[in-house]
């Protein structure tokens, strides 16, 4: 496989779940080491496997493939309290494929799907190593927080957010105005 091979993005299916959990672990262990250190990334990687079931939520999670290999995953979840808020979640790119647009394509796919479902704002709990990535995509820092991943081990995170782009929400707004009239 060559980094110049085209990347396709499609919805996650059941056969993807275990390979994507392994991809997530590899991404955490290699890309999270610098900001967090060994003990924290190992604890984080273990916790991540507990959440792999969310990948099957219908139409909300996507896999990026290059030459038939899974190289990234990401998606969104609705907020339980705010109808207009979507959480960008579970974004991981294999370390051998970072910095070639895969993460951006996955976030854009998640944002489009969330906007099509009527979500007008996006938020993400960003790991420290991903803050520059989300900033480049237009997300802004809201606040810092800590996430306990094991007894006496917590990860520093940054809550980031942005409004949906006008083009992302225009079809939803049009549909809302039609149904209201």
Which conformational region is residue 50 in: left (phi greater than 0), alpha (psi within -120 to 50 degrees), or beta? alpha
Whether 134 maps to a domain, the answer reads yes
**Domain for residue 180, yes or no?**
no
Q: In this structure, is residue 178 part of a structural domain?
A: no
In a domain, residue 98? The reply is yes
CATH number at residue 59: 3.40.630.30
Domain for residue 112, yes or no?
yes
Q: Mind listing the pLDDT tens digit of every residue in the chain (181 residues)?
A: 677 889 999 999 989 988 999 999 999 999 999 999 999 999 999 887 777 777 777 779 999 999 999 999 999 999 999 999 999 999 999 999 999 999 999 999 999 999 999 999 999 999 999 999 999 999 999 999 999 998 999 999 999 999 998 765 444 433 332 333 3
**Tokens in use for 168?**
């992302």
Supply the range of the domain harboring residue 144.
Answer: 7-173
Looking at the domain assignment, is residue 2 inside a domain?
no
Q: Let me know if residue 1 belongs to a domain.
A: no
- Going from the C-alpha of 106 to that of each of 78, 112, 146, the distances in angstroms are 17, 10, 25
Residues 63 and 73 sit within 8 Å (Cβ to Cβ): yes
Report the alpha-carbon distance of residue 129 to residue 145 in Å, rounded.
14
Domain count across the chain? 1
Q: Does 132 map to a domain?
A: yes
Strands (E), 20-163: 61-66, 69-78, 85-93, 121-127, 140-150, 153-163
């Amino acid at each position: 496989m060559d980094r110049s091979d085209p990347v396709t993005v499609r919805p996650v299916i059941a056969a993807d779940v275990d390979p994507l959990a392994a991809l997530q672990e590899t991404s955490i262990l290699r890309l999270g080491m610098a900001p967090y250190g060994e003990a924290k990334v190992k604890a984080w990687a273990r916790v991540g496997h507990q959440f792999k079931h969310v990948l099957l939520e219908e139409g909300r999670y996507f896999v990026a493939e290059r030459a038939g290999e899974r190289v990234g995953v990401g998606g969104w979840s609705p907020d339980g309290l705010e109808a207009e808020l979507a959480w960008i979640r579970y974004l991981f790119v294999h370390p051998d494929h970072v910095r070639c647009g895969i993460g951006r394509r996955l976030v854009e796919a998640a944002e489009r799907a969330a906007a099509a479902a009527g979500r007008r704002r996006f938020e993400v709990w960003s790991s420290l190593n991903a803050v520059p990535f989300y900033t480049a995509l237009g997300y802004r820092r809201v606040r810092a927080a800590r996430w306990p991943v094991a007894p006496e081990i917590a990860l520093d995170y940054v809550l980031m957010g942005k409004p949906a782009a006008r083009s992302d929400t225009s079809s939803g707004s049009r549909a809302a105005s039609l149904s209201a009239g």
